[in-house]
């Protein structure tokens, strides 16, 4: 579009960008800048808090790749996804987790909509508010996803209004995951994690040679049983020298939210989500561990990922344990997620469904 408004103040939006060959949308105001890779899953690639110049999103060492200019050397349903994983925030529908075959469709890791290009339209463009609507249709599955990303004047928050629809004329099962990966500089030794009272579920098996959590354990927030030694306090992050790679899950929250605060920087990142849709919060702890491909013990990030289902072993196990979301023919399910930047060192009491951060 050649004649978008080109403001340099207030809320701004533009889809007249490309990054490494991928169509890219930029939304910003005086407090935050959000960059979305429309041609790669409508992924939120960057979420910058301007006053502190902190980008909350983690980046993989191999970064963004243009699939038209990259030839994978194997056809593994896991490595194909990982080769293209740039970090940031993916919408994962209908198959959160490792590969499986469902209804005759072979689906790879976290397939399928976040590896596809999405259509995008700018639906609001004013100094007060800007919004972009992204849409995609599955190829191997009958699911359609639409999400509208908005920011408003004077607010350091991103509003994500999302709808998943089964366009099939028969029921279909779904794992819906919001794959949000956070990294340095927000993530650092001693940074704080806060969320409502809940139950911790350690992953059923060891995730990696560097796993430290006791497989299959469950108990109350914030301490999780370790394979050896004292319990691990999830309310404080260790540094990269922890050299661990684990997976855990939180469930039983009365309200869905979390907050990550870096007291040294005086900045934090909070997310609120509806627990009636997302019954679980996945906790991926990639803290300098992970031997061999693709991590090579060089990564330092966490994923805090609202999800309908449990665990991250794919759709087939979720169907078997009855945590997959079954969609009737033609059924739609909607959810609104708020992601917000905040400043200060004080403990967080709550991130409300509208994204308001309350301190203790």
| Residue 95: DSSP 8-state | -
Helices and strands counted in the chain (H then E): 2, 28
CA angle 79, 84, 87 (to 5 degrees): 110
pLDDT at 4: 73
Q: How far is CA 24 from CA 43, 122, 127, 159, 260, in A?
A: 10, 12, 21, 18, 27
pLDDT along the chain (360 residues), means of 10: 77 95 97 98 98 98 90 88 96 96 94 96 97 97 98 98 98 98 98 98 94 98 97 98 98 98 98 98 98 96 98 96 98 98 97 96
pLDDT at 25: 98
pLDDT at 292: 95
pLDDT at 6: 84
pLDDT at 1: 54
Tokens of 256: 């869905």
**pTM for the whole thing?**
0.97
What contacts 13, CB < 8 A, 6 or more positions away? 4, 25, 26, 27, 28, 122, 125, 130, 131, 132
How far is the C-alpha of 176 from the C-alpha of 173, rounded, in Å?
10
pLDDT at 5: 74
Residue 124 contacts residue 132 (beta carbons within 8 Å): no
pLDDT at 291: 93
- Structural domains in the chain plus CATH codes: 68-80+91-359 (2.70.98.10)
pLDDT at 123: 97
Residue 316 contacts residue 281 (beta carbons within 8 Å): no
Could you list the beta-strand ranges (E) of 74-174. 89-92, 100-102, 105-107, 119-125, 129-137, 143-152, 157-166, 172-174
pLDDT at 72: 84
């Amino acid at each position: 579009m050649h004649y978008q408004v080109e403001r340099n103040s207030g809320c701004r939006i533009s889809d007249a960008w490309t990054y490494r060959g991928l169509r890219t949308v930029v939304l910003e105001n005086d407090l935050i800048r959000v960059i979305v890779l429309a041609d790669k899953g409508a992924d939120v690639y960057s979420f910058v808090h301007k006053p502190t110049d902190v980008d909350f999103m983690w980046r993989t060492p191999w970064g963004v790749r243009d699939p038209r200019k990259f030839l994978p050397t194997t056809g593994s349903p896991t490595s194909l996804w990982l080769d293209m994983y740039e970090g940031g925030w993916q919408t994962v529908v209908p198959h959160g987790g490792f590969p499986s075959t469902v209804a005759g469709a072979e689906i790879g890791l976290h397939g399928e909509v976040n590896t596809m290009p999405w259509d995008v339209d700018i639906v609001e463009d004013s100094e007060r508010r800007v919004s972009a609507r992204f849409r995609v249709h599955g190829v191997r599955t009958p699911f359609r996803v639409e999400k509208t990303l908005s920011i408003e004047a004077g607010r350091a928050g991103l509003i994500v209004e999302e709808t998943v629809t089964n366009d099939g004329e028969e029921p279909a099962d779904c794992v819906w995951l919001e794959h949000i990966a956070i990294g340095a500089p927000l993530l650092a030794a001693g940074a704080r994690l806060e969320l409502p009272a809940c139950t911790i579920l350690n992953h059923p098996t060891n995730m990696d040679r560097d796993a430290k959590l006791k497989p299959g354990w469950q108990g109350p927030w914030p301490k999780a049983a370790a394979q050896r030694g004292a319990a691990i306090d999830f309310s404080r992050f260790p540094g990269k020298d922890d050299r661990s790679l684990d997976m855990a899950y939180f469930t039983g929250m009365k309200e869905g939210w979390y907050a990550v605060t870096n007291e040294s920087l005086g900045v934090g990142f909070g997310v609120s989500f509806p627990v009636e849709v997302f019954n679980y919060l996945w906790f991926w702890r990639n803290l300098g561990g992970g031997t061999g491909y693709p991590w090579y013990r060089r990564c330092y990030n966490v994923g805090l990922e609202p999800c309908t289902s449990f665990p991250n072993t794919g759709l087939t196990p979720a169907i078997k344990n009855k945590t997959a979301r079954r969609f009737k023919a033609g059924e739609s399910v909607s959810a609104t997620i708020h992601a917000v930047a905040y400043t200060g060192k004080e403990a967080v009491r709550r991130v409300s469904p509208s994204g308001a951060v309350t301190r203790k």
